[in-house]
Structure 1
């Protein structure tokens, strides 16, 4: 039924639930996994973007030290993402599931759909944070966008309640 499953993961705890669900399905259907982490300023654990005119508003804030500090934080964010993907790929392999992983910079929802199209994915497994109200209005919902724009079936995993 499913030959290629894309699992969209991030650095949050939600990623654990999504990963377990995707590996379970991949194992059941003997499907290959594509683990995808989209490097996006919208992700909870990413460094906050530096506003373009910060130096005009707060001259002391817009100096090279600020930019260097942000670059260092972004590199650490990239490294954490790469380490998480490698760890998950190893875990999947230990469970007998073949897979590969990618880390791409971009808008999370659009990038997930684009990769799914390019890779002829049969199923996308993604988590849902439960953002609603103003949060969803201003920040959008990655899972909602993917559900409505994906070229394939989508499984949305709800974060377990504490």
Structure 2
């Protein structure tokens, strides 16, 4: 069935759910895992500093750029630690796992790693955006579903009821 499962994860609760689903599937099929985290400013919790208008204040801009660089390095290191921890969890469960962390557009990067690693399956989370939010924010899972070179398992995220209602109301206003 599946021998090589690519698991696109982050440090969120949703990322944990995606990992657990992939680990269960790997146990059932004796597959190996490749855990992938894509470093992107699109990810919740990633450092995001606007430099707009700071060209008039070079000293401040330089200080902010250094602060942003430090925050980005901390973000990278936290993400690497999360990946190492999940590889250890997989090993404890008797599953062979490795990891990679890449910069880039999440959807494109996931598909490229799936292609180069020759994955049989990609497991990716879905945050539950719908309607206007999905149109405006885009959807990594939707991109992967349409561009991956292999099968894709989409793990539904935790959908807050108030967010789902707001998405539907926005869609109704646009219609």
Query: How would you bin the TM-score normalised by the shorter chain?
Result: over 0.9
1:8 corresponds in structure 2 to: 8
Superposed CA offset, 1:2-39 (max 9, x none): 01000000111101110110001111111010000000
The Cα shift of 1:133 comes to 3.1
Kept after mapping to 2: 8 A contact 1:54/1:62: no
Match of 2:96 in 1: 98
* Residues 97-131 of structure 1: per-residue CA shift (max 9 Å, x gap): 00100000110000000000011100000110012
Larger Rg: 2
Question: What SS does the corresponding residue of 2:89 show, helix, strand or coil?
Answer: helix
CA change 1:161–1:141 in 2 (3 A) is closer
Report the 3-state secondary structure (helix = DSSP H, G, I; strand = E; otherwise coil) of the residue aligned with 2:75: helix
Name the residue aligned to 1:127.
Answer: 125
CA contact 1:4–1:121 (8 Å) conserved in 2: yes
Tell me the distance in 1 between the aligned counterparts of 2:90 and 2:154: 20
CA contact (8 A) 2:32 2:97 kept: yes
Equivalent runs, 1:64-103 vs 2, <5 Å: 64-103=62-101
Gaps of 5+ in 2: 161-175
Cα offset, 1:136, TM superposition? 1.8
> How many residues matched?
160
The answer to whether the Cα contact below 8 Å between 2:126 and 2:156 also exists between their aligned partners in 1 is: yes
Instruction: Tell whether the 8 Å contact from 2:128 to 2:158 is kept in structure 1 after alignment.
Output: no
Equivalent pair of 1:41/1:49 in contact (CA under 8 Å): no
Structure 1 position 37 matched with structure 2 position 37: yes
Alignment partners' CA distance in 1, 2:72 and 2:119: 29
**Structure possessing the higher relative contact order (Cα contacts under 8 Å, 6 or more residues apart):** 1
- The two structures have a TM-score, normalised by structure 1, of 0.92
* Residue 54 (1) aligns with residue 53 (2): yes
CA contact (8 A) 1:55 1:61 kept: no
Shift of 1:45: 1.1
